[in-house]
Chains A and B, each alone.
Chain A
């Protein structure tokens, strides 16, 4: 679901405190393209996000991780966004994806553990339309995803123009068949 990918790039630019860039989209899949200050073009959301983070000396570098392992981990989640999240349209695919993420996020505050990284930002944007559509039962069913999502959307500077997704802290439903 690449609708609004230009907005997303803008949002990331703002978050990182960077000057504006020219962003266009191409083809049916609305692949984003960004033009850099020296006239180069970069294609693809994962590539662009990484480039922006790298361009922001103070804020960005941390978001990319501090070790080769972390770089790789973050990059794999960027890839996940464009291969899995953006392609999960059917209900069963969305549910499968949420289940997978829910399991992954069981013991993590953020995708990489304890620190916000680019992975969180990019997956947050990717999942936003999905989370908006979930009812409270489903939000509780995927409670780790919900917890993580709520955490990220409250992180200063992240939410910006996107509507806030509402979560309820208390368990509304007492038993779940796993």
Chain B
């Protein structure tokens, strides 16, 4: 385990002493407080999580031996919530700076008295041996009592504390910890006070960011295990999918369309495959289950096996040839194996919560026999005498498709599927498919006892609804994969939006209005705007060549922020973080390069730095969005003429585009989606119900057609100012409503808000008339 700490931090003693006592190996890494977002010391746990509390770290490293002792709980809580708040300032001022301050001392006195009293005639704070209470309080007081030769009078009067402290100092674990943490320098090494945690970007963070950028090197890349990222992080990844073709549904559809099941499957496999291609889902191989390999896999493994009762090697079907007993192999043999497997899963975060919950409910009442065959024609025939008219139940055979499809792709399939030590397996699905992936299939694999790779990460989503109802192919409600292409909106936008509304812990909704808003605000106004601005500057003012970048403190702020976002992004793969973009836009705004370029050479150079940095941020963004919007990523990189090597994700922001690099032609990345387009699409995919609704409704006032003029020159400063005004006014209105102010007053302020919003729309070059009244308050009837 690793302990991160800054130099001379007495709280590190808490951890080191504990580790010494239990003989736990603790690697100590010295870091700058500023480069960590949490308070040091921090303990990195084996699971990858971290503990930021020194006290709890101590307890943990002591093996939680005193976990049940409430007295220890009390002392730990006392130390953190009572002692530290007053001890820390005292240490800083009176010890660290040597200034006398009677008020600070007075605040500490009652606490020392309390401790002294508790230690009367005792060797240890709690019980008769060292507990974390001793270690924690001793460490906290080390800067005060650590140098026995220099004890101030106001401290020596607490004889209880002095004796207890000195006694513990003779313990080997304590002695050795002092040497380690203070590097042999004793009390003088301590910074005599905890630093206040600075949550805005700090000076050291800035320095670190600047040097990382200049060096172009990055420390060991973050080891994450998400397949979308694996390629960017240089992990060997295999992405497999396919159409699961057997089953009743296929037979039914075939009858409907007047084709054979085989023809139906051929048709839909092609359609699905094309849709995935359009969406740029980068499968290594998109296969199907109706292949010879599938039959082979099914037949080979699930018919031969070991009789659980007499260990006869060649048992088939449900009766062992040797001992003649009927085999209910699944639940007898597999339940313990499955439980063992699941017990490694439940305590972790590797599976999504719904997956764990669903699995638990299946397994809780014990595994029951399930019928694995069906009386159908379209399926893999059961290769057993007497069963040949039956086929395997589709959900029994489907998951084997993962293996057989891999086998269709490569004959080295065993390197993936029989290699649990080296392979991490991810399954992505909707929650209704969970039991087959979490119980049925693992059971089959476990039962085969052939070292199959089991699912390490099962990510199940909840349901995606459509507008205020559900998707329904039969009623024509909702936009489906094959419709998306025809809307003329690029795949990247759908990818972005679908990931944004991915129903992770609860159902979510696909809404056209939301879709339009996200495109127009997040993509067009935010990301697209930033990238385009940066590149236009390079193009217009620097002849399309990246200028020299001479990084200063100011720039350091941006760099440090970008690093923060980058690291958060790497940690949270499902959420796209636009922080770097917001910061980037602000940065350009603040530095005003359009003014600088017209100035003296010094100012021009400054402009060069600003724009060069901005271009590099744009490059970084193109890499970050790659898994989400590959086409956009590609476009940005084309416009930047960025070399292929930029496509590695490191955990600090480094300069990829050096001075002198020639970029390509900038051009807007995204198109605005107009409200009218959105309304059309909504209507198109509303199914037949919408038409009926419309007939019964009065038509709303139509907004005048938006001019499709050449792009209006936007005064960004004015837009920013009005945006702030709108927010302020919005808050004011809300406050009035909360305060239940007079209706006349509220209405007046609401009108002001609407007016501001219209001005803002005009400033942005949008149509102000689309800003119709607030949020449509319903009129309340009532007595006055």
Q: Report A's interface with B, CB cutoff 8 A.
A: 29, 31, 40, 42-47, 50-51, 54, 66-73, 75-76, 79-80, 82-83, 86-87, 96, 99-100, 103, 106-107, 109, 113-115, 135-137, 170-178
Q: How far is the CA of A24 from the CA of B735 in the complex (A)?
A: 37
CB distance from B754 to the nearest CB of A (A): 15
Q: Say whether B583 contacts A75, CB under 8 Å.
A: no
Q: How far is the CA of A171 from the CA of B514 in the complex (A)?
A: 9
B302 at the interface (CB under 8 A from A): no
Q: Say whether B45 contacts A69, CB under 8 Å.
A: yes
The listed residue (B53, B70, B579, B730) touching A47 by CB distance below 8 A is B70
Q: Is the interface of B mostly helix, strand, loop or mixed?
A: helix
Given contacts A72-B60, A76-B56, A99-B199, contact A177 B735 (CB under 8 A): no
Q: Say whether A47 contacts B74, CB under 8 Å.
A: yes
Chain B residues near A46 (CB-CB < 8 A) = 73, 77, 81
Q: How far is the CA of A31 from the CA of B85 in the complex (A)?
A: 15
The listed residue (B37, B76, B353) touching A109 by CB distance below 8 A is B353
Q: Say whether A113 contacts B521, CB under 8 Å.
A: no
Q: Say whether B575 contacts A75, CB under 8 Å.
A: no
Chain A residues near B156 (CB-CB < 8 A) = none
Complex: chain B residue closest to A64, CB-CB: B67
Complex: chain A residue closest to B589, CB-CB: A177
Complex: chain B residue closest to A74, CB-CB: B56
A-B contact pairs, 24 of them (CB 8 A): A42-B74, A44-B77, A44-B78, A46-B73, A51-B73, A68-B63, A68-B64, A69-B46, A71-B64, A73-B49, A82-B77, A83-B80, A87-B85, A103-B37, A106-B571, A107-B571, A109-B505, A114-B349, A114-B353, A172-B730, A174-B521, A174-B525, A177-B582, A177-B586
The listed residue (B60, B82, B356, B579) touching A178 by CB distance below 8 A is B579
The listed residue (B60, B517, B574) touching A174 by CB distance below 8 A is B517
Q: Which of B474-533 contact A (CB under 8 A)?
A: 505, 514, 517, 521-522, 525-526
Q: Say whether A136 contacts B49, CB under 8 Å.
A: no
Q: How far is the CA of A71 from the CA of B731 in the complex (A)?
A: 42
Chain B residues near A136 (CB-CB < 8 A) = 734
Complex: chain A residue closest to B78, CB-CB: A44
CB distance from B653 to the nearest CB of A (A): 15
Q: How far is the CA of A171 from the CA of B520 in the complex (A)?
A: 14
B295 at the interface (CB under 8 A from A): no
CB distance from A68 to the nearest CB of B (A): 5
The listed residue (A66, A76, A100) touching B347 by CB distance below 8 A is A66
Q: Say whether A72 contacts B568, CB under 8 Å.
A: no
B84 at the interface (CB under 8 A from A): yes
B260 at the interface (CB under 8 A from A): no
Chain B residues near A96 (CB-CB < 8 A) = 197, 199
Chain B residues near A47 (CB-CB < 8 A) = 70, 73-74, 77
Chain B residues near A43 (CB-CB < 8 A) = 74, 77-78
Q: Which of B730-757 contact A (CB under 8 A)?
A: 730-731, 734-735
Q: Say whether B574 contacts A178, CB under 8 Å.
A: no
CB distance from B561 to the nearest CB of A (A): 8
The listed residue (A83, A172, A178) touching B565 by CB distance below 8 A is A178
Q: How far is the CA of A109 from the CA of B356 in the complex (A)?
A: 14
Chain A residues near B46 (CB-CB < 8 A) = 69
Q: Say whether A72 contacts B56, CB under 8 Å.
A: yes
Q: How far is the CA of A161 from the CA of B505 in the complex (A)?
A: 27
CB distance from A107 to the nearest CB of B (A): 4
Complex: chain B residue closest to A106, CB-CB: B572
Q: Which of B366-425 contact A (CB under 8 A)?
A: none
CB distance from B48 to the nearest CB of A (A): 10
Q: Say whether B565 contacts A75, CB under 8 Å.
A: no
Complex: chain B residue closest to A78, CB-CB: B77
Given contacts A69-B60, A107-B572, contact A82 B81 (CB under 8 A): yes
CB distance from B11 to the nearest CB of A (A): 13
Q: Say whether A106 contacts B568, CB under 8 Å.
A: yes
The listed residue (B51, B60, B73, B735) touching A50 by CB distance below 8 A is B73
Q: How far is the CA of A69 from the CA of B53 in the complex (A)?
A: 13
Chain B residues near A54 (CB-CB < 8 A) = 68
Complex: chain A residue closest to B775, CB-CB: A172
Q: Say whether A75 contacts B53, CB under 8 Å.
A: yes
B202 at the interface (CB under 8 A from A): no
Q: Say whether A176 contacts B59, CB under 8 Å.
A: no
Q: Say whether B582 contacts A68, CB under 8 Å.
A: no
Chain B residues near A87 (CB-CB < 8 A) = 85
CB distance from B736 to the nearest CB of A (A): 12
Q: How far is the CA of A71 from the CA of B56 in the complex (A)?
A: 9
The listed residue (A44, A72, A177) touching B74 by CB distance below 8 A is A44
Q: How far is the CA of A137 from the CA of B565 in the complex (A)?
A: 21
Given contacts A46-B73, A175-B526, contact A79 B586 (CB under 8 A): no
The listed residue (A72, A103, A113, A170) touching B349 by CB distance below 8 A is A113
Q: Say whether B525 contacts A83, CB under 8 Å.
A: no
Chain B residues near A178 (CB-CB < 8 A) = 561, 565, 578-579, 582-583
Q: How far is the CA of A20 from the CA of B686 in the complex (A)?
A: 56
Q: Say whether B60 contacts A68, CB under 8 Å.
A: yes
Q: How far is the CA of A40 from the CA of B71 in the complex (A)?
A: 11
Q: How far is the CA of A136 from the CA of B586 in the complex (A)?
A: 23
Q: How far is the CA of A135 from the CA of B80 in the complex (A)?
A: 32
Q: Say whether A106 contacts B575, CB under 8 Å.
A: yes
Q: Say whether B47 contacts A44, CB under 8 Å.
A: no
Q: Say whether A42 contacts B70, CB under 8 Å.
A: yes
Given contacts A106-B575, A109-B505, A175-B521, contact A76 B70 (CB under 8 A): no
Complex: chain B residue closest to A178, CB-CB: B579
Chain A residues near B78 (CB-CB < 8 A) = 43-44
The listed residue (A75, A109, A114) touching B59 by CB distance below 8 A is A75
Chain A residues near B353 (CB-CB < 8 A) = 109, 114-115
